[in-house]
Amino acid sequence: MTWQRETFKKIKQVPREEHVFPGTSLCAGCGGLEALRLASKGLGDHVVYVNAAGCFTMLAAYPFTPFKGSWLYTTMGSAPAGAQGIRDALDVLIAKGRLPKEENLKIVVLGGDGSTYDMALSSTSGAIHRRLDFYYFCYDNEAYGNTGMQLSSATPYGARTATSPCSLQHQAGTLQEKKDIFEIWRAHKPPYIATVAPRYPLDLEEKFARASKFEGPKLFLALSACPTGWLYDPGETPEVAKLAVETGLWPLKEAINGEVTHTYIPKLKPVEDYLKLQGRFRHLFEPTLQKEVIAHIQDRVHRYWERVNQVERKG
């Protein structure tokens, strides 16, 4: 069964109204900001963003904010706890009649992959377990970007980072596999989780529209192509994001009450097409071609999609 977009069919359905305004000091060509801007068109202005420290710290650098709504800044590990506090406060105020129901707000955690995959994992697990009604928006650029691209548990095998350089002992750069945070969330049985890529705006908007119908924890994992850390020209951000999806490395999918559906079936271009564009993988091609490393990445992609075919497309 193929996934169908019900609401967003044409590009001109992307709302014109902006909710994240210009003037932030995020990098030119930031894939994370691109994803957040599109996401905010689905979320609107009645939102409290709870921002874990990370690149998005630069969204509201004192004394400026790009939002019409509210923004609360927390440490890397405690954004879901902050979200719980705001949710409780709103619930209490509404129950006591001190805040009209129409002024209720959506709570949206903004966390990078450093927070989402590493530091905030325990407070996130707690929040999902308590069925906290919130969105979790992770801008995943696969490393600690704000401090100069150090390895995180979202960094993929074979990427070079500041703390996993290509060396004689570790020629592949990063030796660990990217943590599967989607499955970790799914194991908690939240109502809605999805991966998105800003190069696929209709898929993204559709998923925000669908998620809005569910109460409880909702995860959005946004591929955030990063010119600064992945080392490519800022103008290529959409192209890099597109190839991440088309090579099968970044599957677009959702899980409603635990049931996974892939929302886009890529043609599985060779992974080299994606890797070659980025400086963080250049050591796999120069000065010597590291065939085994590339074959390992390719093999993992093939095995993933074989499993998807078996599970989702039987009969």
Partner 1 sequence: MLAIRFHGRGGQGAKTASRIVGTAAFLEGFVAQDSPIYGAERRGAPVAAFTRIAREPIRERGIIAHPTVVVVADTSLISDPAARVLDGVDEKTVLFMNSSLSAEQLATQISLSGRVTALDLTEVALQRFGKRGAISALLGAVAGRLVGLRQESIHEAISRELADLGLAPSVIEQNQVAARHCYDAVPVVALETGSRRVPGSTRLRIPNYEPPSRGTARISAAANSLLRETGGWRTFRPVLVPDKCNGCWLCFVYCPDGVISMTKDDRPVIDYDHCKGCQICVQECPTRALVAEREKEGEAAWTAK
Residues that bind partner 1 (CB under 8 A): 11-12, 14, 16, 18, 20-31, 33-34, 37-38, 55, 57-58, 60, 62-69, 71, 145-149, 160, 165-166, 198-199, 201, 227-228, 233-239, 279, 282-283, 286-287
- Shortest reach from residue 61's CB to partner 1, in Å: 8
Kindly provide the b/e burial profile for residues 118-141, where b requires at least 16 CB atoms within 10 angstroms of the residue's own CB: bbbbebbeebbeeebbbbbbbbbb
Report in angstroms how near the CB of residue 147 gets to partner 1 at its nearest: 7
Give the integer Cα–Cα distance in Å for 192 and 182.
11
Q: Both tokens of residue 312?
A: 């989702």
Is the Cβ of residue 67 or residue 264 nearer to partner 1 in the bound state? 67
Contact 176, 200 (CB under 8 A): no
Question: What sign does the CA torsion over 120, 81, 204, 112 have?
Answer: negative
The three-state secondary structure class of 71 is strand
Query: Closest CB to partner 1 among 65 and 261?
Result: 65
- CA distances to 110, 222, 247, 288 from 51, rounded to whole Å, are 5, 15, 31, 42
By beta-carbon proximity to partner 1, the closer residue of 174 and 237 is 237
For the CB of residue 293, give the shortest distance to partner 1 in the complex, in Å.
15
Please, which residue, 124 or 155, has the CB nearer to partner 1?
155
Tell the burial category of 271 from Cβ atoms under 10 Å away from its Cβ (0-12, 13-18, 19+). buried
Nearer to partner 1, 124 or 224 (CB): 224
The least distance separating partner 1 from the CB of residue 63, rounded to whole angstroms, comes to 5
> Which of 77/145 has CB closer to partner 1?
145
| Residue number, 270 or 279, with CB nearest to partner 1 | 279
Cβ 118 to partner 1 shortest distance, Å = 19
Structure tokens at 255: 């899980």
State the helix-helix crossing angle for 31-43 and 237-246, rounded to 10 degrees: 80
Cβ at position 80, least distance to partner 1 in Å: 20
Q: Least Å distance between CB 125 and partner 1? A: 27
Greatest CA separation for the chain: 68
- The C-alpha atoms of residue 156 and residue 154 are separated, in whole angstroms, by 6
Query: What is the separation, in whole angstroms, between the first and last Cα of the chain?
Result: 9
